Amino acid sequence: MTDVTSSKTARRPHHWRHDLIELAALFTAVVVADTIAKTIVKGPDGQYLLVFSAIALVATAAFHTWWARRHSHASHAPPPAGASGGDTGERSATAPTAAEGDGAEDAPRPPAETVLWRMRTTVEDTPGSLAALCTVLARLGVDILTLQTHPLARGTVDEFLLRAPADLSAQALARETAAAGGRDTWTERADAHDLVDTPTRVLGLATRTALDAAELPLALRQLLGRCTLHSVPALSLTGRPTGEQAPVEGVLEETVMRLRDPHGGTLIVERPYLPFTPTEFARARALVELDARLGPRLPRSQDVLTLPEGNEITVRRADQRDLRAARAMHDRCSARTLGLRYHGPVGDADRYLDHLLSPRFGRTLAVQTTSGRLVALGHLLWDGDETEVALMVEDDWQRRGIGSELLGRLVAMAEEAGCESVYAVTQASNTGMVAAMRALQLPLDYQIEEGTLVITARLAAAPRQSPRSPSRPHEEVRPAER
């Protein structure tokens, strides 16, 4: 602990004896000086001796002053760097150091602009290999925020979160890393969310998965980085076995991970640019096992909305337990409505419902009346790296704003999940769906092929907005074409 001395305690104690001694010395000096002066003046050369004495006294006083100042500066000089002793860490409060004095004259320098990078590289499992890599990063002005190591059979995978100068490119970073002994280097821009340590992030993903079965695909994506996830059911839409059934413990094949789906089938995770490590495989398998133990589950929140004509509807999440009510709604829909939704034979609609309502493939919103009848469905489907939105509203409930309300909520879910864009597959004659996409006020791309219209809304180009609040009851739905 550094001792701090105040100005009050730094004063030397004052005693009356010192004053008495100084007064006696002054009196003695006056008497001696008067005696010497009288003796010198009465001599033959007294005047000259008096002048020479005065000059000698002035020279002596000047020399004493110069010597005292030099000795004082030498004794108060700061200790050299690296000097040992109990006072090396202390600094005078009244005399700033030379570095502080120079900095006071210069203007404060603005902090250099930096960016966050995630970098993964493989190094030899030998002493000094990681130290050599860290030395190169320090020379580049890169700050290592976090470091994880993944031991392999040959070498060790080191995963860094770096704060680097903004003018340092990913190519230069990879080149210098390779020169330091790293191989299979991969870099990606990071953001503030990556500053959370790995155990905290994994616990957060586990909590989200426990609350909502549809969160498992998103949790795996966020856990493993940029990857593609496919859910292959055990049976095809025609009821035939697909032959996809992973073992209970799963399979890890370099850049492909196969996990057994608790609902039947296989979850296939692919990351072509970077092999999975055994640690990542163990974490992903733990999330899937957690999902299997908890079984079917959905958030219980729901919104009660008021239509312009005064009818109340309820918007809530749906899953495969709503299969019977969804089939009943399909039976009440016209052939035109089913054709606009599924772009094919009307008889094939029922075979897709079980797939669409599965939380493995996305999220589903259902609209029901006060009597409990299901009148509309909205789907947000995970399609590899892309996200699809789809709507269907029963004929008697169209053109009341229900479709636009569902679409807005689905897009908010996609944005909250980190999706960069969403697309809708429809027909050019489906003016209601086209109007609902335009009402999103997002940048849209249109592609038309043989009568099929694909509308893509880019979410990344839009300003970030908070998702719709599910806690506002009796919200009035705006009218729209559908």
Residues 208-264 have pLDDT tens digits of 888 888 888 888 888 887 788 888 877 666 566 666 666 778 888 888 999 888 777
Q: Are residues 208 and 161 in the same domain?
A: no
Question: Residue 148 is part of a domain; what is its CATH number?
Answer: 3.30.70.260
Pair 464, 406 in one domain: yes
Neighbouring residues of 348: CB distance < 8 A, sequence distance ≥ 6: 237, 342
Mapped onto helix, strand or coil, the DSSP state of residue 117 is strand
Q: Is the pLDDT of residue 358 over 60?
A: yes
Burial-class residue 307 by CB neighbours within 10 Å (0-12, 13-18, 19+).
middle
Do 124 and 238 lie in one domain? The reply is no
- Please check whether residue 127 lies inside any domain of the structure: yes
Please give the torsion angle defined by the CA atoms of residues 43, 45, 46 and 51, in that order, rounded to the nearest 10 degrees.
-170
Beta carbons of 454 and 446 less than 8 angstroms apart: yes
Same domain, 283 and 160: no
Which domain-ending residue is among 273, 294, 315? 294
pLDDT at position 464? 39
The answer on 318 and 428 residing in a single domain is yes
Of 99 and 122, more confident? 122
- Tell me, what's the pLDDT at 266? 85
Strand partners, 187: 119
Q: What is the mean pLDDT of the chain?
A: 76
Question: Coil, strand or helix: which one is 353?
Answer: helix
pLDDT band for position 91 (cuts 50, 70, 90)? very low
What residues contact 38, with CB distance under 8 A and at least 6 apart? none
CA atoms within 13 A on the CB side of 127: 0
pLDDT digits (tens, 9 = 90+) for 175-190: 889 888 888 888 888 8
Q: State whether 353 and 227 are in the same domain.
A: no
Q: Assess if residue 85 is contained within a domain.
A: no
Q: Provide the domain limits for residue 219.
A: 198-294
- Report the candidate in 157, 149, 371 with the shortest Cα–Cα distance to residue 254: 157
As given in the structure block, the two tokens for residue 291 are 């999902």
Tens of pLDDT, residues 117-141: 888 888 888 888 888 999 999 999 9
Q: Which of 169, 191, 213 is at the close of a domain?
A: 191
Residues 127 and 170 occupy one common structural domain: yes
Query: Which percentage of the chain shows pLDDT scores above 90?
Result: 16
Q: Is the pLDDT of residue 84 over 80?
A: no
Whether 208 and 248 map to the same domain: the answer is: yes
Task: Indicate if the pLDDT at residue 451 is higher than 60.
Answer: yes
Averaged pLDDT for residues 102-122: 70
**Mean local confidence (pLDDT), 160-186:** 88
Going across the sheet that includes 256-260, the strands are 228-232, 266-270, 256-260, 251-253
In a domain, 249, yes or no: yes
Asked if residue 380 belongs to a domain, the reply is: yes
Q: Does residue 262 fall inside a structural domain? A: yes
pLDDT at 325: 92
Number of domains, the chain = 3
pTM, rounded to two decimals: 0.58
The β-bridge relationship of strands 302-306 and 475-476 is parallel
Res. 384: pLDDT tops 60: yes
412 and 284 part of one domain:
no
Instruction: Tell me what pLDDT residue 125 has.
Output: 83
Is 475 a residue whose pLDDT tops 60? Answer: no
Both 135 and 266 in one domain: the answer is no
- Are 337 and 358 in the same domain? yes
- The string of pLDDT tens digits covering residues 269-307 is 998 777 888 888 999 999 989 988 888 888 877 889 888
pLDDT digits (tens, 9 = 90+) for 388-420: 999 999 999 998 899 999 999 999 988 888 788
333 domain residue, yes or no: yes
Say which residue the tokens 């998965």 belong to.
Answer: 209
Confidence of residue 479 (pLDDT cuts 50, 70, 90): very low
N-term to C-term CA, the chain: 74
Tell me the C-alpha distance between 431 and 209, whole Å.
37
- Within a domain: 84: no
Structure tokens at 200: 């905290």
In a domain, 14, yes or no: no
Task: Please tell me whether residues 263 and 236 are part of one structural domain.
Answer: yes
Domain end position, chosen among 265, 294, 323: 294
pLDDT exceeds cutoff 80 at 42: no
